[in-house]
Amino acid sequence: MDSSFRESSRVGCRRRRFLAAGVTFATAALGGCLGSGGDSESSAPAAVTVPEGATCDVCGMNIRQNPGPNAEIFYGDHSPEGHDNPARFCSTWEAYQYDFDRESDGWEDVAFFVTDYSAVEYEVTEDGGDQVLSSHPDAEAFVAASEVTYVVGSDAVGSMGRDLVAFSEAGDAESFQSEYGGDLATHDEVTPEVIGTL
């Protein structure tokens, strides 16, 4: 066998090993960047049931003793005053107001949950001339705020008056709107100005 052929074969083998090692490294690095099927999702906190006696982090009212939508927000490097995460609210609009205020202080929410009225058997009852929406404080009733369609400012009120009523099914939001009025909005469309109208 020709010595120049052997030499070029060795170089070729070394180059293939080097390339194979490079591809393996790149694949591993890319896998680390992309995660392994949702590691970032699994590290996000899950919704929790609002405990007995828990009060709203804005108004101080007992959440379980009041009607309407509830919300909870987990923050990465901060906790609400007086207790561990999540921050808890007896209305959705208070949760947004709180989050907007904390965001301007540099807080970052890692999970924002609201009552999903598509997932519960809700009631609207009469109370003192108001149409009052039922409350659902169990963990199973919550959904990520980014996954809902809100009915904003309907005639069905919660503990703090007009609110944002969340539905994971857009058709449910449209049906609720046709019965109780209000405007439709997504999570990204909720601004301090929208909250100011409630």
Query: Using one digit for the tens of pLDDT, what is the confidence trace for 110-126?
Result: 999 999 999 999 999 99
Same domain, yes or no, for 74 and 94? yes
**Structure-block tokens of residue 123:** 């009631």
Same domain, yes or no, for 173 and 93? yes
Residue 58 belongs to domain spanning: 44-196
Same domain, yes or no, for 26 and 94? no
Same domain, yes or no, for 99 and 52? yes
Same domain, yes or no, for 21 and 79? no
Instruction: Quick: pLDDT tens for 166-183.
Output: 999 999 999 999 999 999
Q: How confident is the model at residue 29 (pLDDT cuts 50, 70, 90)?
A: very low
Report the number of distinct structural domains present in the chain.
2
Same domain, yes or no, for 75 and 163? yes
| Number of alpha helices (DSSP H) and beta strands (DSSP E) in the chain | 5, 10
What pLDDT does 4 receive?
Answer: 45
Same domain, yes or no, for 69 and 144? yes
Same domain, yes or no, for 29 and 62? no
Taking a C-beta distance cutoff of 8 angstroms, is the pair 194, 153 a contact? no
* pLDDT(27) > 90: no
Same domain, yes or no, for 15 and 72? no
Same domain, yes or no, for 23 and 101? no
Q: State the first-to-last Cα distance of the chain, in angstroms, to the nearest integer.
A: 88
Same domain, yes or no, for 108 and 187? yes
Same domain, yes or no, for 26 and 113? no
